[in-house]
Structures are given as structure tokens and as C-alpha cells.
Structure 1
Amino acid sequence: MTMDSGATVDHGFTERLAQLRASIEKRLDELLPESGNERDLVAVAMRESTLAPGKRMRPILLLLAADGLGHQGDPGLELGCAVELIHAASLVLDDMPCMDNASLRRGRPTVHLKFGEDVAILTAVALLSRAFGVIASINDLSPVIRTQLVEVAANAVGMQGLVRGQFQDLRDGQQARRAEEIAMTNNLKTGALFGAIMDMAWLISSSDVLVRPILQNFAVELGQAFQMYDDLRDKCSDGDKDQGKDTGKSTFVSLYGEDKVREQLQVHLSNAERNLHKVYGESHMIAGYMRMVFDKASVIA
């Protein structure tokens, strides 16, 4: 990885990340309580799909971004967990037979295989509902800010974000596409939620209005890099999820080949870091965290 950052990955850094992860895991567990009824399959599936071992990249990013903008308190954690619930719902739907038809997610059988397609659909809806409920009930924020946060989340999920991106990927991804079209789908599928994360961090921190577009530029670059990273992993057998799902799809890997995509991924990461520096300076933890997340990108075969 070639991100040149002043952020130092030391004991304090890893300890801080561990603390963030622990707080996220604890709060997610509280937000998805056990029903006490093993036949309540939707409740069980909600917990299993969300609490399965994952990177928790999105909530950690939100907490780091908000902290760097001067926000401290419960709203950041609540929003981070809401974003993770949205992400979990999107994975349940992505794995469905009518979409990616996946059998493995986070090292476990996908929800529709374990519980049935009916339960999977209901689980995704319930997770989305829970996420919006969490955002709307954050008491430490003004009603105006809460309304704006709900709108940000809704735009990220709907036809301006994940839904449109998934539709384009399913329908247009099976035919040849120009680079601009692939980039647009990637931005909707992946970048939109990163954009929502940075917007949420900005809204709860009351930062300067000039900071907002810079954070959005960072989110766009990060989204493109992350999707390229995910595409490169499609043939990497790590036992975490199904491989070869991109076969026959028009991605940057199929268009340019793996070597060029690795190079372009680094360009997006460098662009992302430049935007970070404009807001946070040279030593903020986000840069170090991004280095950790993308560390495998340079060694994927």
C-alpha cells in the first residue's frame, strides 16, 4: 500500500480501534436483543446477519470522522450502528438467489440458505426499519438535525444510492460498459453509503460548511477504491464469501485487467488521502485506518 500518511500505527492507535470496535459490537447487541423464542426466525436472522464477524469499517469510519471534527458523545455511536444495520440489510439482499445467489457471507451460510428466502427478505426490511428508528430516536440531537440525518440515510439507501446501484449492477453489469458507467454504478453501490457516513459526521459536529464537499470528495474516492478492492478479491479464496461471482460481469477488472486496476486503486487512495489532509491534517487516524483496511490490496494475486 502506498498511502503516505503521517498517521502512525502504534499501540495507542490499535488500542483506540479496539475500543471503537468493542463499543460498536456492544451497542449492536443491545439494539438487536434476543427474542427468547427460537421460532422467531426473523429476529434470529437479524442478529446472525448483523453480529457475524465483520470489519465494522463503516461505523468505525463514522466515529473517527466525527471525532476528528470535534464531536464526542453517543450520537456518533448510534449513527455508526444504524449504518451497520443498513449495510447488513444490503448484504442480505445482495446474496439472494435473484441477485448474486451467494452461499457464503462472512464465513457463514447466507441468510436465505439458512432461514429461507421469505425470512431473508423480511430480515432485510426489519434491519432497515431498525436503522431508521435508531437515527430518528437520538435524543441528544435537535429535531432539525435528526430529520436531516434520516434524509441522508434515505438517500443513501434509495434510488439515489444503493437501490439504483444494485439495479444497474444486475441489469447493466451483464453487458459491455464504458469506464464511466462502471464508475457510476460503483459510486452508487459503494460510494453512496460512504458519502452518507461523512455527511452524518459533518452534521453532528457542526463543522464549517466548506468542509462538507471535501468530505464528499473523500467518500467518492474511497468508494471507488473499495469497489476495486472488492473486485480484485473476487478470485481470492479466503473462505469469507463466495468467489467468482463477477465472472461474466463488466467490472474494471474485466475492462482493464488486474494490474491496471491495482494501479488505479492506489490513485483513488491517494486522492482520498489528499482530501483527508485538507480537513484533518497530516496525522489523523482515518489515514492509518485506511492503510490497514487496504493493506491486502497490493498483494492480492
Structure 2
Amino acid sequence: MIVNAEKSVNPESDLLALREALHQRLDQLLPVVDEQDRVSAAMRAGTLAPGRRIRPLLLLLAAHDLGCDRHHPGLLDFACAIEMIHAASLMLDDIPCMDNALLRRGRPTIHRQFGQHVTILAAVALLSNAFGLVASARDLPTGCRAQAVAELSGAVGLQGLVQGQFQDLSEGHAPRSSEDIARTNDLKTSMLFDAALQMAALAAGASPEVRQKLRCFAQDLGQAFQLLDDLADSHASTGKDANQDEGKSTLVALLGAEAVQQRLRSHLHSADQHVTLACRHGAATRHFMHSWFESQLAAFG
């Protein structure tokens, strides 16, 4: 277990400091080796573009709430690996044979900047780098790193992001039940949240009971996050293509915006209960979740 030397978290200043630490470490991990190396340039562009860093921040904040020093270098490596995985998934989601998106984080998508073949290679390289980084994360026990690799592998593979993207592409334009849509959302979104939180729990030496509560938290959080994303689809201020879900069987299309907002808040309430039970000695994760969702709902609600 990584012992935490101090417990207090100033929400705004600490989040800024954590985001900066993440950016600096990612910059170190993805250096510019050769100006002609377009694959490396695409990896940097996809990962270092200004983003919310929600998943790595959750990892660091949850680890702190579980008793860790959130500035521990191994935790920072875990968090950067999560962000690399997320960046790779977005790059692949956006390519023409998938969602064919034009904008991401307010900028042209990576395939528009570098071409589809470079984007695919860069995403594969990011995935490889992420697993290598977790396996060699600084100052963490070998067993912790091995279990973290397994958690991340499960989140990315055929029972995680890959399956979720396949279901979305193959079934997303056909009529689906709310249960089927929720299952796809769980695979696409909740699984990577779960991996981030489990990696935090492993570093903290958390009990199986705490880890199970964090799994439930991640599931509700992922569902809420995807519902918010669906509600924001028609807005032009998200940094992504507007109306990307047009013609798709989302819960907004099936149930309507008002019912989806109610469902979203129900997931947030459930998530709050789970994280409160899991993190009894800190509330940074809980406060971050509520602050972020309330600000987004104010803009898109």
C-alpha cells in the first residue's frame, strides 16, 4: 500500500496541479524523436490535445481517498496509461470506417491531420505503450503491476471497449431495447472507468469488498457519462461533431431527453452511494464527480 502523507484536497488548485502533472508526464512518455516520424506525432497529437482527463484524474483522486499519496510516481504512470488507452480508443472511434468524425476536442480528428493509416498505427502504438507503462510503473510491487495489467486488458479487449464498439457499429442503427443500449454503454464507457478505479484500489491495497463497491460505482458512473454524452450530441460547443448520433438507437431517441436526464440523475445517486461506502476516509472522488456533472448538466441540460 502507498501511504498518503496528507489528506486535504483543495479541489480547484489540486485538480489543476494534477492535470499539469499528467500533461508533463505524458509529454515525457511521448517524446518527439524525429520530425519526420508521423506516427509519433500522431500519438502526441491524440494524447496531448487539451482534454478533461476524467479517467486518469479519477484514478488519482480515488487512490488518494483510499489512503495513497496521489503524487506517487507509479500512480501517475498508471494514470497516464489510462489516458493513452482512452486517446487510442478515440482515435479509432473517429476513423472513416467507424464513426467518420471530423472534430475531436475542438480540433480536426487525428485521421484528418495524419491520414487513416498513420492513425491506426499510432493507436496501436499507444495501446502497446500503455500496457508497457503499467507493467513497469515506478515504485510499485510486481504483483500490483501484474494485476493492473490484467484489469486493463479486460477493459480493452473483447469483453470491454472492443465489444462495445462492435455492438455500437453493428447494432446502433437498428431498433434496440433500453437494456441492450445500456449493455453497450457499459462496455464502451463503464469498463475503462472500472479499470482506472481498480488500478487505484490495487495500489492502495484495498479489500475485495471495497473493490466491488468501486466496480458498482464505475458502472453507474459510466452509464451517467454516456447518457450525458447522448444529451450533448445536438450541441455545437462540445468540441465534437454535432448530431453524430442522428439515426442511432440511443436512450435519448428511445425515451426522450427528460426521461434520460432523470435516469442520469438516478445513476449519479447510486454512484454516490457506492463511492461513499468505498472511500470512507476521503471525498475527493465524490466531489469531483458531482462538480463535473453539475457543470455539464448546466450547459447541456
Contact 1:58 1:194 in 2 (8 A): yes
Greater RCO (CA < 8 Å, at least 6 residues apart): 1
Amino acid at match of 1:174: H
Return the offset for 1:247.
0.6
1:28 has 2:26 as partner: yes
Q: Deviations over 1:144-181 (max 9, x none)?
A: 22111111111110011000000000001110101110
Q: Pairwise mapping of residues 93-242 of structure 1 onto structure 2 (< 5 A)?
A: 93-238=92-237, 240-242=239-241
Give distance in 2, aligned partners of 1:11 and 1:64: 9
Give distance in 1, aligned partners of 2:13 and 2:221: 24
Q: Deviations over 1:260-298 (max 9, x none)?
A: 101110110010001111122496011221122212224
Contact 1:90 1:124 in 2 (8 A): yes
Return the offset for 1:118.
0.5
Q: Deviations over 1:54-112 (max 9, x none)?
A: 00111110000011111222121110000000000000000010110001000111111
Contact 1:225 1:266 in 2 (8 A): yes
Give distance in 2, aligned partners of 1:66 and 1:209: 15
Give distance in 1, aligned partners of 2:202 and 2:280: 20
Residue 143 and residue 283 in structure 1: after superposition, are their counterparts in 2 closer, same or farther (change >3 A)? Answer: closer
1:44 has 2:20 as partner: no
Please point out which of 61, 64, 68 is paired with 2:65. Answer: 68
Question: TM-score under structure 1 normalisation?
Answer: 0.94
Contact 2:185 2:226 in 1 (8 A): yes
1:17 has 2:8 as partner: no
Give distance in 1, aligned partners of 2:253 and 2:246: 9
Unaligned 5+ segments in structure 2 are 1-7
The aligned counterpart of 2:91 is 92
Q: Pairwise mapping of residues 248-263 of structure 1 onto structure 2 (< 5 A)?
A: 248-263=247-262
The aligned counterpart of 1:53 is 50
Unaligned 5+ segments in structure 1 are 1-9
SS at match of 1:97: coil
The aligned counterpart of 1:83 is 82
Return the offset for 1:299.
4.3
SS at match of 1:210: helix
Q: Which moved more, 1:71-80 or 1:264-273?
A: 71-80
SS at match of 2:99: coil
Residue 244 and residue 160 in structure 1: after superposition, are their counterparts in 2 closer, same or farther (change >3 A)? Answer: same
Amino acid at match of 1:16: D
Amino acid at match of 2:12: T
> Structure 1 segments of 4 or more deviating over 4 A?
none
Contact 1:136 1:147 in 2 (8 A): yes
Amino acid at match of 1:300: F
SS at match of 2:191: helix
Q: Which moved more, 1:125-134 or 1:12-21?
A: 12-21
Q: Deviations over 1:206-255 (max 9, x none)?
A: 11221111000000000000000001110011051111110111111011
Residue 238 and residue 299 in structure 1: after superposition, are their counterparts in 2 closer, same or farther (change >3 A)? Answer: closer
Give distance in 1, aligned partners of 2:206 and 2:187: 25
SS at match of 2:41: helix
Q: Deviations over 1:10-43 (max 9, x none)?
A: 99221111111111111011110111x2221001
Residue 282 and residue 67 in structure 1: after superposition, are their counterparts in 2 closer, same or farther (change >3 A)? Answer: closer
Amino acid at match of 1:50: T
Amino acid at match of 1:48: A
Give distance in 2, aligned partners of 1:161 and 1:196: 10
